[in-house]
Each structure stands twice: as C-alpha cells, then as structure tokens.
Amino acid sequence: MAYYLYILYSESSDKYYIGQTNDVEGRLLAHNSSDRKTYTSKHRPWVLLKSFTFPDRCTAMLVEKTVKKKKSRRIIQEIIADIHTSEELLDFLGLNSSAG
C-alpha cells in the first residue's frame, strides 16, 4: 500500500505542517474539520501544497521524521519549490540507499 508525505500550509497563520498518511485527501479534510483541539485545528484552513508517494509507511515515516528534525522553514520551502519526485526528496535528505 502506498503512503504519502504531505506538506500543508496555513495562510492565516503562515505555518507549514508535515505529515504522512495513506489517504491525503482524507487527512486534509480531517485537519480542516476535526472537532478535536490540536495544533492543526488552531491554524485552519490548511491547503495542500505538495505530496510525495512512497512504497510503504516505514519510508514515509522516515522522511517525515527527517524533515521535521531539521526544523527549518527554508528546507520546507526548498522542498516545495525545487523537489518534484520522491526519489529527488530522498536524495535531498540523504536517505536514498540506492545512491551508495
């Protein structure tokens, strides 16, 4: 089953959110409509800026963790602007095992 890394943006708060899921549209809907008090509920509405497809949840989670660990708005903006494929993203983050 494919999993996705997704990048959301809140114009009202000027914030980015990174997540992973097997249903991007469903997660976007949940972020924008859930009654739970969460980080994303405070910064609505969210729009989907980018998503990347991975073959499994483990890879999607590793990429999510790596991007979040960098804690860099500039890195997120660079990914949005310049990275177009999952392979490019893995290379950019130094996670592509086929490169070695």
Residue 45, domain CATH: 3.40.1440
Q: Say what the pLDDT of residue 37 is.
A: 87
> What's the total number of domains in the chain?
1
pLDDT at 100: 44
Range of the domain at 70: 3-99
62: its two tokens: 């590793």
State the Cα–Cα distance between residues 27 and 39, nearest whole angstrom.
14
Q: What is the pTM of this model?
A: 0.92
**For residue range 29-74, what is the model confidence (pLDDT) as tens digits?**
999 997 888 888 999 999 999 999 999 999 999 999 999 999 999 9
pLDDT in tens, 6-18: 999 999 999 999 9
pLDDT tier at 98, thresholds 50, 70, 90: low
Pull the structure tokens for residue 14.
Answer: 């000027």
